[in-house]
């Protein structure tokens, strides 16, 4: 009898510990997800445009630059992306694309329609010509903008472009972990994303296109940058409608040879999203495009933040649209 009583007390104690731990976990999650939701509900505006209402952020002064975010993004990531690439002297316009954060989903979600929405936003802001930076899936509407509204694009920068390649398409890395995360994304599971970040961050790092071992050997600053990007996808539930649009995009060959804007294309050989073939295809078909390929770095160009900033600065200067001016843009180059 005494043994049975002891076992019952032990089970009760274990249950209380589990409940207490669960309560602390939920409290931590609730605090962090509440901060993430509050962050994306402030700091942006909504423009009434010919293409409908578009959420966007507007920061800085100087040369206008349109920052088009990738999958899992929004206006907040649009700002963060170019903060790593350009210095002062730019006015950054960062829209949330269709289905992301405060931008709704129209009846036509094609990349062409998204490009027209970019142009409508620029017109509503009385911006005639801008530098366009398209990152990952954002490179798709950046290219369409340069084709459909060439008068609005003074220079085009495509970073790890999730665009068309005839023989080797862009795709999500095929591990079981990435398949699990892809399921989470499509479920819009805020808690599951948050818990995975705490328990198995390497799974999320791989899912966003970066070899985890590369991050492990990187500097503390780079590791922090990668994890900041992982956390910036929260709240996932407010981004997954846009992710679903990006995941089902109709990628096909576009008349890249008609792009007139000076163009820079950057990718990495170990990008787990396989953007290198698309980058090479774009650079080989866009007239006088400059291609920069890093041997390592993954989808976030880990370890090349300063290199990429210098490449972008030099490109803009040579294209005569940056803060300084150099001779006309040279032919393609590889570091």
pLDDT given for residue 195 in this prediction: 87
User: Each residue of 278-334: pLDDT tens digit?
Assistant: 999 999 999 999 999 999 999 999 999 999 999 999 999 998 886 654 444 443 343
Q: What is the mean pLDDT of residues 223-239?
A: 93
User: Each residue of 89-99: pLDDT tens digit?
Assistant: 999 999 999 99
93 and 231: one domain? yes
User: Each residue of 99-158: pLDDT tens digit?
Assistant: 999 999 999 999 999 999 999 999 999 999 999 999 999 999 999 999 999 999 999 999
268 and 306: one domain? yes
pLDDT band at 30 (very low <50, low <70, confident <90, very high): confident
Pairing of strands 290-294, 153-159: unpaired
Task: Give, as one character, the DSSP assignment of residue 150.
Answer: G
- What is residue 212's three-state secondary structure? helix
Q: What is the mean pLDDT of residues 146-175?
A: 90
Q: Is 277 left (phi over 0), alpha (psi -120 to 50) or beta?
A: alpha
Residues 6 or more apart whose CB falls under 8 angstroms from that of 25 comprise: none
- What is residue 291's three-state secondary structure? strand
pLDDT given for residue 333 in this prediction: 41
Over the chain, what is the mean pLDDT? 87
Domain tally for the chain?
2
pLDDT band at 177 (very low <50, low <70, confident <90, very high): low
Q: What is the mean pLDDT of residues 256-271?
A: 98
Q: Would you state the structure tokens that stand for residue 146, as one six-digit string?
A: 């340069």
- What is residue 266's three-state secondary structure? strand
Which alpha helices (DSSP H) does the chain contain, by range? 2-40, 75-83, 111-124, 138-148, 176-187, 190-199, 201-207, 212-216, 220-231, 240-247, 276-285, 305-318
Least confident of 138-142, 224-228, 235-239: 235-239
33 and 132: one domain? no
48: phi then psi, degrees, rounded to nearest 5: -90, 110
Number of other CB atoms surrounding residue 199 within 10 Å: 8
149 and 174: one domain? yes
121 and 72: one domain? yes
- Give me the half-sphere count of Cα atoms (radius 13 Å) on the Cβ side of residue 80: 19
Q: How far, in Å, CA of 311 to CA of 319, rounded?
A: 12
pLDDT given for residue 19 in this prediction: 43
214 and 305: one domain? yes
Q: Reply yes or no on whether the pLDDT at 214 is more than 70.
A: yes
Q: What is the mean pLDDT of residues 185-197?
A: 78
What CATH number is given to the structural domain containing 236? 3.40.50.1820
Pairing of strands 90-95, 130-135: unpaired
Q: Would you state the structure tokens that stand for residue 282, as one six-digit string?
A: 């774009």
pLDDT given for residue 13 in this prediction: 46
180 and 321: one domain? yes
124 and 223: one domain? yes
The residue written with tokens 């002062």 in the block is: 88
210 and 298: one domain? yes
Task: Give, as one character, the DSSP assignment of residue 134.
Answer: E
Range of the domain at 2: 1-42
26 and 68: one domain? no
User: Each residue of 241-257: pLDDT tens digit?
Assistant: 999 999 888 899 999 99
User: Each residue of 64-80: pLDDT tens digit?
Assistant: 999 999 999 999 999 99
34 and 57: one domain? no
Indicate if the alpha-carbon torsion angle 50, 55, 59, 65 is positive or negative.
Answer: negative
29 and 63: one domain? no
User: Each residue of 14-24: pLDDT tens digit?
Assistant: 444 444 445 55
């Amino acid at each position: 009898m005494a043994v049975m009583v002891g076992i019952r007390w032990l089970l009760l104690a274990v249950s209380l510990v589990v409940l207490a731990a669960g309560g602390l976990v939920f409290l931590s999650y609730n605090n962090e997800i509440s901060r993430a939701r509050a962050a994306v509900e402030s700091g942006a505006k909504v423009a009434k445009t010919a293409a409908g209402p578009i959420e966007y952020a507007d920061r800085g002064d100087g040369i206008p630059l349109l920052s088009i975010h990738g999958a899992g993004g929004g206006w907040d990531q649009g700002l963060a992306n170019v903060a790593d690439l350009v210095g002062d002297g730019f006015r950054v316009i960062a829209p949330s694309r269709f289905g992301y954060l405060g931008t709704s989903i129209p009846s036509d979600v094609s990349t062409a329609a998204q490009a027209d929405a970019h142009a409508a936003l620029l017109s509503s802001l009385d911006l005639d010509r801008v530098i366009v930076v398209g990152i990952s899936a954002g490179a798709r509407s950046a290219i369409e903008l340069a084709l459909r509204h060439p008068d609005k694009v003074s220079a085009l920068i495509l970073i790890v472009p999730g665009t068309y390649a005839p023989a080797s398409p862009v795709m999500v890395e095929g591990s079981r972990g990435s398949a699990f995360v892809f399921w989470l994304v499509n479920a819009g599971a805020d808690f599951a994303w948050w818990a995975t970040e705490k328990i198995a961050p390497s799974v999320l790092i791989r899912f966003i296109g970066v070899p985890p071992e590369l991050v492990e050997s990187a500097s503390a600053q780079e590791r922090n940058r990668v994890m900041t990007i992982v956390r910036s996808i929260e709240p996932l539930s407010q981004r997954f409608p846009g992710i679903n649009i990006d995941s089902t995009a109709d990628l096909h060959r576009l008349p890249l040879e008609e792009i007139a804007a000076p163009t820079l294309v950057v990718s990495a050989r170990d990008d787990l999203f396989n953007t290198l073939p698309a980058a090479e295809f774009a650079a080989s078909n866009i007239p006088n495009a400059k291609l920069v390929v890093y041997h390592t770095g993954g989808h976030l160009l880990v370890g090349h933040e300063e290199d990429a900033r210098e490449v972008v600065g030099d490109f803009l200067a040579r294209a005569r649209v940056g803060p300084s001016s150099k001779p006309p843009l040279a032919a393609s180059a590889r570091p």
